[in-house]
Amino acid sequence: MELSDFTYATKENTMTTAKKIARRKLSLLELAQEIGSVSKACRVMGYSRQQFYEIRRNYQTYGSEGLLDRLPGARSPHPNRVAPEVETAILAHSLDHPTHGCLRVAQELALKDINVSSGGVRGVWSRHNLTTRHERLLRLEKTVREQRIELSTEQVELLERFSPEFRERHIETSYTGDLVAVDTFMVGTLKGIGRIYLQTVIDCHSRYAWGRLYTTKLPLTAVQTLNNHVLPTFEEHNARITTVLSDNGREFCGREDRHPYELFLQLEGIEHRRTKVRRPQSNGYVERLHRTLLDEHFRIMGRKKFYESVDEMQKDLDSYLEHYNNKRPHQGRNMNGRTPYKAFVAGLPKPEKPVKKEVEKKQKVA
C-alpha cells in the first residue's frame, strides 16, 4: 500500500481531533520516506523511534484505520457483561425498589435464583445512568409519568419524600363550603370519665374551624356537630356545604341506606367524599388543625388547669376557637395572614344575578 493512497477530508473545519492526529502520523511517515531518516523525522515531528515503528506497523496492517487511536481493552459488548435477561431483572428490581444499593439488589436477585455480583449490578447502572439513588428515583418518576401503572405504598412514600412535585400537592377549593373536612381526634383521658374525643370540622377554603368534645365517637355525635354548629354558621351567611371529606371511620362511613351520618348528608344534599385507607395526609387540613389545637391549646391548658368535666374543656375550647377564627392570623396556603373568618366571608359565593328579560312595550298611537 502506497502512502499516496491515503486521503482525508479537505475541509479543515470538519476534521475531528482523531483525524487530525491521524493526519500528523501520516505526515511523520511521509517525512521519513522523503528524507530517508527515521531519527531526523521523529525529531522534527516530536515522536520517538518506538512510536514511529508502532505507527508504521499499524498502518501496514490496518491501512488508514490503523492511524486512528484505539482505546485499550475489550470492545463492546464486553465478554464479561451480564446476560440480557439478568440486566432486565436488575433494571426491573431497581424500578420497584430505587433506594436499594447494588449489594442489596444482588442479594434480592439471588433469592430468585438470579446470580449476579454487586459489581455487575453497578455496571448495569453505569450503562443506564442509574448510579446514584437520585437518578433511580428520577427514572421511577419518569416511568410513572409515561405509563399508567399502580404504585406500591413504598413507591408512593419515596416519591412524596424526594419529589418536589409530590411534596407540593394541595387540595384545591374554589369558594367557602366547596369542601369541608371532618375527623375524630382523641384528645386524652379524664380521670373518672374516660377518653375524650374531639369532633373536628374545618372549611378547607377559609380554614374556619369548629370543634365539639364527646366521650364517645359515634355517628350521632358526628351528626350533632354538623347539624347544631356547622350548618347554622353557613346558613347565617346564606351559604351551603357542597362536599364533606372524611376518613373511613365508622362514625362517618357505612351503608348509605342505614348509616345515620350517610343519611343526614343525603337529606342535606351534601356529597360525601372519603380518603384512601391509611392515608391521613389525604385529609391534611384537618390533621394540621389537630396539631395546632394540641400545640396552642390542649398541651398548654392541660398544664395550667385541672379539668373535672367535659363541659369545662368545651368552654375553654370554644374560647380558643373564637380566637382562632376571628383574631389569629393564619399562615396557611393562600391565607396571606388573614383570619379564617375574613377568608370565610371573602370566599362566599356571589349570588347569581337574575336575568333581566327585555320586554318590548308597544305604544299605541291614538
Instruction: Residue 153: count other Cβ atoms within 10 Å of its Cβ.
Output: 9
The residue out of 67, 93, 121 marking a domain boundary is 67
List C-alpha distances in Å: 67 to 27, 46, 134. 11, 16, 42
Examine the domain organization and report whether 239 and 281 are in the same domain: yes
Half-sphere exposure of 121 (CA within 13 A, CB side): 24
Tens of pLDDT, residue by residue over 188-225, are 999 889 999 999 999 999 999 999 999 999 999 999 99
d(CA 239, CA 231): 9
pLDDT confidence bin for 169, thresholds 50/70/90 = low
Examine the domain organization and report whether 231 and 331 are in the same domain: yes
Classify residue 353: in a domain, yes or no: no
Examine the domain organization and report whether 337 and 203 are in the same domain: yes
Element (H, E) at 230: none
Confidence at residue 91, expressed as pLDDT on a 0 to 100 scale: 93
Classify residue 366: in a domain, yes or no: no
Nearest to 142 by CA among 123, 126, 161, 165: 165
- Average of per-residue pLDDT across 232-240: 94
DSSP sequence for 69-94: ---SSPPSSPTTPPPHHHHHHHHHHH
Cα dihedral 4, 10, 12, 13 in deg (nearest 10):
-140
Classify residue 241: in a domain, yes or no: yes
Classify residue 173: in a domain, yes or no: no
Examine the domain organization and report whether 162 and 238 are in the same domain: no
- Average of per-residue pLDDT across 36-42: 88
The count of structural domains within the chain is: 3
pLDDT confidence bin for 146, thresholds 50/70/90 = confident
Examine the domain organization and report whether 185 and 43 are in the same domain: no
Tens of pLDDT, residue by residue over 294-304, are 999 999 988 88
Examine the domain organization and report whether 193 and 279 are in the same domain: yes
Classify residue 363: in a domain, yes or no: no
pTM of this prediction?
0.54
Examine the domain organization and report whether 114 and 153 are in the same domain: yes
Classify residue 58: in a domain, yes or no: yes
Classify residue 355: in a domain, yes or no: no
Cell of 197: 374525643
pLDDT confidence bin for 359, thresholds 50/70/90 = very low
Examine the domain organization and report whether 31 and 116 are in the same domain: no
Classify residue 75: in a domain, yes or no: no
pLDDT confidence bin for 16, thresholds 50/70/90 = confident
Asked if residue 172 has pLDDT above 60, the reply is yes
Task: Write out the residue range of the structural domain in which residue 127 sits.
Answer: 84-167
